[in-house]
Structure 1
Amino acid sequence: MNKYQRAPAVEVFEETMDKMPILTRRVLSNLTKNGLYAPSKISAALCSAQVPQNANYSTEAKRQNLLKFPALKLEETISKFLKTAEPVLTKEELEETKRLAAEFQAKDGAELQKILEKVAESQENWLAPRWLKAAYLTYRDPVTVFSSPGMTFPLQHFKTSADYYMYTAKLIQGLVKYKKVVDDGKVPVVKMGKNELDNSQFSAVYGTCRIPRPEEDALEYNPNSKHIAVVYKNHFFKLPVYNKTGQIINAKVLAEQLQQIANSENKSGVPIGLLTTDSRDNWASAYAELMKSSTNARSVKVIQESLFTVSLDEVVPFAQEEVYNVLGLQLIHGGGTNKNSGNRWMDKTIQVVVNPNGMSGFCYEHSPAEGQPIAMMADYINKIFPNPQEFEDGANDNYEPFSKLPFDQPSPVLEQKLQEAGKNVDKLAEDLELRVLQYKGFGKDFLKKQKLSPDSFVQMALQYAFYRLHKCAGAQYETAHLRIYYGGRTETIRSCSNESLAFAKAMMDPKCTDETRVELLKKAVNGHREYTTMALQGRGVDRHLLGLKLMALENNKPIPKFYQAPGVVKSAHFRVSTSQVASPNAAFMCYGPLTHDGYGCCYNPRDSDIFLACSAWKSNEETSAKLFAKSIDEALTSMRDLLERAGEKPKAKL
């Protein structure tokens, strides 16, 4: 295939979900502050593909047969954009948007399109470096809550502290063993249709750290590092994971080292890690002060160069009915200064969090890559965990023991910044509401029998749930990976449509017949599937419009009035930020809302049930994660009942 040709259409979520589950997650980008795309924040995602049996092996993008990322046709993008904007606009707003869109297409947009086409011709992926800067490195809000998601592991039941340390040691050894898979070029190359998916991001997560800078952060890569950083009671430790001859240290030795680390400290240290939870500019200022000490600078360097961090947290009590809510919040922000927020280093791409109460998971800072490496790590560990022999191999001698990383007593200036960071993370922890719903009425199996896309069905349920609460359409996005392209990141799936709004209204209309409702449901689901296919091919709306605006900025041209059109503003104000993480385990991903008046919702549709993690801001009186979760529960049940009346009945999970 000519690499300038479009990728073939694919049936993404239906036929390939079991082989290639999508793990998505939005990252926030305050593009208003940076003058880039829309007056709201824009998303990126974590996308994953599981390993098929017959995969070819390669992790080098340059060795793969990948497509070059194109510049789309302007008229096609404008046409699709107008259709996606309709459900959130009044008639007057739509007419104004159409007028500005026509002017844009004829004048400024056409000029910017020519510039973009020239840039796209000269670069393998014109979007990737610009997206990294716009969506991540210039993003100034905290990565805590706003950007970095929590990804849960199944709950554990530790009978003794030895069990706790051995479990953590196995996680460490498993992650280091998976790094060897990456280093040896044995990460399978997955295909979507006839196109290979880019695997280059797998080499970008181990040893990677975000570095705070005023206005724009930096990324540092340390893939050849031989140690991890362990955090216990706010103290930091260097723990080698290879012995002196380069062998991976086995779990038994690592568990002993973890036990010794815990035994070495009885009191909590100065919570230097709190600084990393703050806004990026606040942290950049504190970082400059922190690094004035050569002792601090050496310790920070060791943390930054570590393959990943492991947080051995303080026990957090919980009521049984709140276990999933507490778990998610611990991964997202650590619970505040009175719990575990100081026991973090939020700049690290991979943070492993383990609590003696049985809670564990990842916190993922995903500036360098989407989520497929994290998903494949978790999949790999889940597969090897039941086999004790996997953790008996490796070195048990000739290794360097752990060492503490010292920090000087904070200066008055740094102490003030620590207090400010603590207050800020406490506000975030207090304001964020999370409700995890395990819906047991049905799962993927029932929906597949109905010949309905499970992902699209859940997306329509979220649209319906929002409409039930707010009596209006809510702009909603889901993110699609662009891994068929060299260096591909993400495109937005705009889930709010005329079809989804018509379906929601029909469900609320007592005069509407079931036959009409079923017909509208199928139209909405199929419409979402079609947009998903386009987005996965790179033929969405948002990245193209962003690219055109970036061309104006890069060439010192004024921003066209089109970008202030009601349709541009309102359709990109995503009040429902959604993502899917496919896992057979009782696990889920979670994150904060995208907008102050919106919700976050990450879901895991399993065979017979669906996990949904809903978030909202308590400070906004219009939203409630508890009520949204309840509305989703009721929406799913209503939709199931509708299909039952139409014929098929699901088997509810007991």
Structure 2
Amino acid sequence: MAEAHQAVAFQFTVTPEGIDLQLSHQALTEIYLSGVRSWKKRIIRLKNSVITGVYPASPSSWLFVVIAILATMYTRSDPSMGLIAKIQEHLPVSQSMSTQCQAVVSAVLFSTMLWLLLIFTMRLCLKQLLSYHRWMFEQHGKMSTTTKVWVALVRIFSGRKPLLYSYQGSLPNLPVPTVKDTVKRYLESVRPLTDDSQYERMTQLATEFESSLGNRLQWYLKLKALWASNYVSDWWEEYVYLRGRSPLMVNSNYYGMDFLYVTPTPIQAARAGNSIHAFFLYRRKLNREEIKPSRIPGTVIPLCAAQCERIFNTARTPGEETDSVQHWQDSDYIVVYHRGRYFRLRVYQAGRLLSPREIEFQIQRILDDTSPPSKGEAKLGALTAGDRIPWAQARKKHFGSGVNKRSLDCIERAAFFVTLDDDEQGMLGDDPEASLDRYAKSLLHGKCYDRWFDKSFSVVYFKNGKTGINAEHSWADAPVVAHLWEYTLATDCFQLGYNAEGHCKGEVDSSLPRPQKLNWEIAPECEEQISQSLTVAQALADDLDFHVLSFKDFGKGRVKRCRVSPDAFVQMALQLAYYRNRRTFCLTYEASMTRLFREGRTETVRSCTSESSAFVRALEGGEAAEVCRRLFRSASEKHQQLYRLAMTGAGIDRHLFCLYVVSKYLGVESPFLKEVLSEPWRLSTSQTPVQQVELFDMVNHPEYISCGGGFGPVADDGYGVSYYVLGDSMINFHISCKHSCPDTDAHKFGAEIRKALHDLIQLLSPSHREPSKVGESRHEFKKDL
């Protein structure tokens, strides 16, 4: 009961003489310091709101404008053209205000209005400049005069030292493509996947839609685009994520790995101490908006930062029809899971963030705690891993009041969730590839009850010091979490570090209150639901086939020497590998971002094109190398063009999705949209680039970089492929599929990807001897398998 006493600020007893009140000085001090910390944050937020609100100007520029206007008054000139005099006439007459004082006040008011007008003009100009995307379509290394002038103007209007959210008000709104363009590009995308009769049928459906219902639906979308800051994002979050009723685990959540070849310390508590401290350093920078705005690499073009707002103190709560995302302004603790128990661990003491060594000390206390879990507590997390409707019903019935509600609120309001895992993971033993596969599966689903899949992100610390992250998808996309993860890994190793024994540096205040164990009263009926959810989740986890392919034979450096985009190169390799694996082509999803626009999230690049399928058929048909190279170049250029269109708001899938949503609101059926939205993505791919290259030395220490991350397959008979291009010499692939599908195998597909990469680089490298029939070497590779 020690933790219960620590939570009480005062005690009292009733005596014959009256009430004897005993105040706890320590508890009241904590309350006072917590309030001070909260008010400091409010002041910082207010200051940042002012700075962001006047950007690209600065608050100090107001004083400059005021002084300039006052100076002109003393030179007997009137830059206001009589407006200052008009303002002076309408000022309230005051006995204590002289005529000269009224003139000064009127000048200050005019200066303020002029300053605000200048800010509005600068912001409008910057917004118009950021709407220019022609630069993206220019040939690499050849910048037009127009683009050079544009770059100079963007630099001028961007101001100096922007905060994280400074550009938000200047970002353009996502444009609505025309129905004609979307339909045209859609038909182009399905041409290589259909025969003549199927294509003719889809063409008729598309033409009918374009000439009739499409224009009506488009009108509503244009109206929404005028009213909302982004016509896609809110519907995308609600209908694609929050209304999904299947388990989040595997189907939606994704993961990120630790360093591939390095474990900074083998001590579990020490690794947790450093990285948890680093997470809160990032949150502090986030709250103060000290994180630099993300930009397109190598450019001055900012990206939307709206998704950063919900990184911490956020949870997805289940509902019977739709879930919701809840975000709290602050939280001074985390929740830690270990061996079936949940602990509340405060990371602030006396108004300061605990040091890494102190957090390690607290984590070790949890690891050393031998208390058993309460009845029904051990596998409680399975509720978040199963179907959403049963979890929503159980939450409403069993967690709506009392001790269960308090403990559940504690988990959901925590900064983030932590799991102390008893397993060892990483590249272990005599079979490092198999151990990497187990590592990936553990991060994606664990034991199906030892992660809290509803939290914005959960961090897992394994027994041997390895770590990883599991993130919920509805509130943000992978690049936002990857940015946080890169910062944490770099800060953990390169800034905080460890002592010679592998412990965190610093001293420990041994008087820190112990982590507080959460209490639960789980009814038998709730235990039954936990068991059912665990059964559903376990079946999903057992069906998942996963393979992590660490490709070290070459990387983007060699690909670039062939004058090819690394992303296009990998996508063509995936098309070739899939065709060899299944002897057909499929609808392929590659995620692209639309964060050039306000509140932008993602768009789809349909990587399987007529050009890519023509190249693959030529290569597999034994065509001459020169012909294959020409077709590859054409396919690569087409892919790059589609990627640019997607980034600049001219993609097709989000537009079609929103048209479908409008049709549902209007209660009208569209055979065309219904068929489009029901097409399966049998190959779902995504690249997560390294964003903070300056944090890592990938030339001298390539081992100090994350192995990347992955996700589950989108279709039951398809593959999910995430790839992570590391420096110039490594590409990591995370491949998922399902055992229940006889046509998919993650390891075989990984082998096909490896073979495809070698075949493509052999085809494109002029310095290597090439066989006249590039596809001939494939039979030799089969023998090696």
Look up the match of 2:520: 407
Q: What's the secondary structure of 1:110's corresponding residue?
A: helix
Give the whole-Å Cα distance in 2 for the aligned partners of 1:562 and 1:227.
Answer: 50
Q: What's the secondary structure of 1:191's corresponding residue?
A: coil
Give the whole-Å Cα distance in 2 for the aligned partners of 1:207 and 1:10.
Answer: 39
Q: Which moved more, 1:259-268 or 1:350-359?
A: 259-268
Name which of 462, 467, 476 aligns with 1:355: 462
CA contact (8 A) 1:327 1:360 kept: no
**Greater helix content:** 2
Q: Would you say 1:315 and 2:426 are equivalent positions? A: no
Amino acid at match of 1:525: S
Name which of 343, 349, 369 aligns with 1:243: 349
Q: Would you say 1:87 and 2:192 are equivalent positions? A: yes
Give the whole-Å Cα distance in 1 for the aligned partners of 2:342 and 2:592.
Answer: 37
Give the whole-Å Cα distance in 2 for the aligned partners of 1:184 and 1:323.
Answer: 40
* Structure 1 residues 62 and 454: CA distance shift in structure 2, 3 A: closer
Q: CA deviation at 1:2?
A: 7.8
CA contact (8 A) 1:112 1:548 kept: yes
Cα deviations across residues 560-614 of structure 1 (Å, max 9, x unaligned)? 121244xx267x4211111112345250211110001100111112211211111
* Structure 1 residues 61 and 272: CA distance shift in structure 2, 3 A: farther
Amino acid at match of 1:469: N
Look up the match of 1:43: none
Give the whole-Å Cα distance in 2 for the aligned partners of 1:178 and 1:275.
Answer: 30
CA contact (8 A) 2:358 2:507 kept: no
* Structure 1 residues 7 and 287: CA distance shift in structure 2, 3 A: farther
CA contact (8 A) 1:462 1:632 kept: yes
Q: Would you say 1:452 and 2:559 are equivalent positions? A: no
Q: Which moved more, 1:84-93 or 1:310-319?
A: 310-319
CA contact (8 A) 1:8 1:194 kept: no
1:463-474 → structure 2 map (5 Å cutoff): 463-474=575-586
Q: CA deviation at 1:194?
A: 5.8
Look up the match of 2:304: 198
Q: Which moved more, 1:416-425 or 1:284-293?
A: 284-293
CA contact (8 A) 2:168 2:598 kept: no
Give the whole-Å Cα distance in 1 for the aligned partners of 2:356 and 2:456.
Answer: 23
Give the whole-Å Cα distance in 1 for the aligned partners of 2:769 and 2:290.
Answer: 43
Cα deviations across residues 448-494 of structure 1 (Å, max 9, x unaligned)? 11110001110110011000111111111111111111111111111
Give the whole-Å Cα distance in 1 for the aligned partners of 2:160 and 2:746.
Answer: 41
Q: Would you say 1:8 and 2:113 are equivalent positions? A: no
Cα deviations across residues 58-106 of structure 1 (Å, max 9, x unaligned)? 2336754201122211111111111111111111111111111111111
Look up the match of 2:636: 525
CA contact (8 A) 2:365 2:514 kept: no
1:134-283 → structure 2 map (5 Å cutoff): 134-155=239-260, 163-192=267-296, 195-245=301-351, 247-265=352-370, 267=372, 270-283=378-391
* Structure 1 residues 189 and 89: CA distance shift in structure 2, 3 A: same
Q: CA deviation at 1:398?
A: 8.2
Q: Which moved more, 1:602-611 or 1:252-261?
A: 602-611
Q: Would you say 1:118 and 2:223 are equivalent positions? A: yes
Give the whole-Å Cα distance in 2 for the aligned partners of 1:605 and 1:282.
Answer: 40
Q: What's the secondary structure of 1:83's corresponding residue?
A: helix
Q: What's the secondary structure of 1:621's corresponding residue?
A: coil
Q: Would you say 1:577 and 2:688 are equivalent positions? A: no
Amino acid at match of 2:583: K
* Structure 1 residues 431 and 9: CA distance shift in structure 2, 3 A: farther
Amino acid at match of 1:265: T
CA contact (8 A) 1:589 1:602 kept: yes
Q: What's the secondary structure of 1:57's corresponding residue?
A: coil
Q: Which moved more, 1:121-130 or 1:296-305?
A: 121-130
Give the whole-Å Cα distance in 2 for the aligned partners of 1:525 and 1:288.
Answer: 52
The unaligned stretches of length 5 or more in structure 1 are: 17-53, 650-654
Q: CA deviation at 1:397?
A: 8.2
Look up the match of 1:641: 762
Give the whole-Å Cα distance in 2 for the aligned partners of 1:419 and 1:412.
Answer: 11
Q: CA deviation at 1:267?
A: 4.4
Give the whole-Å Cα distance in 1 for the aligned partners of 2:264 and 2:212.
Answer: 70
Name which of 752, 756, 774 aligns with 1:631: 752
Look up the match of 1:343: 450
Look up the match of 1:301: 409
Name which of 708, 711, 725 aligns with 1:588: 708
CA contact (8 A) 1:240 1:401 kept: no
RMSD over equivalenced CA pairs, Å: 2.6
CA contact (8 A) 2:341 2:372 kept: no
Q: Which moved more, 1:420-429 or 1:539-548?
A: 420-429
Q: CA deviation at 1:385?
A: 2.6
CA contact (8 A) 2:269 2:363 kept: yes
* Structure 1 residues 645 and 159: CA distance shift in structure 2, 3 A: closer
Give the whole-Å Cα distance in 2 for the aligned partners of 1:255 and 1:12.
Answer: 51
Give the whole-Å Cα distance in 2 for the aligned partners of 1:218 and 1:569.
Answer: 24
Identical-pair percentage: 27
Give the whole-Å Cα distance in 2 for the aligned partners of 1:533 and 1:148.
Answer: 27
Which gives a bigger RCO, structure 1 or 2 (Cα 8 Å, sep 6+)? 1
Q: CA deviation at 1:290?
A: 2.9
Report how many residues are paired.
599
Give the whole-Å Cα distance in 1 for the aligned partners of 2:221 and 2:369.
Answer: 58
Q: What's the secondary structure of 2:458's corresponding residue?
A: strand
* Structure 1 residues 79 and 393: CA distance shift in structure 2, 3 A: farther
Give the whole-Å Cα distance in 2 for the aligned partners of 1:280 and 1:56.
Answer: 44
Q: Which has the larger radius of gyration?
A: 2
Look up the match of 1:546: 657
Q: What's the secondary structure of 1:196's corresponding residue?
A: coil
The unaligned stretches of length 5 or more in structure 2 are: 1-124, 142-158, 498-503, 691-697, 699-704, 771-785
Amino acid at match of 2:314: T
Look up the match of 1:373: 480
Q: CA deviation at 1:539?
A: 0.7
* Structure 1 residues 586 and 194: CA distance shift in structure 2, 3 A: closer
CA contact (8 A) 1:64 1:196 kept: no
Question: TM-score normalised to the size of structure 1?
Answer: 0.87
* Structure 1 residues 286 and 62: CA distance shift in structure 2, 3 A: farther
Look up the match of 2:673: 563
Look up the match of 1:36: none
Q: CA deviation at 1:234?
A: 1.9
Q: Would you say 1:98 and 2:203 are equivalent positions? A: yes
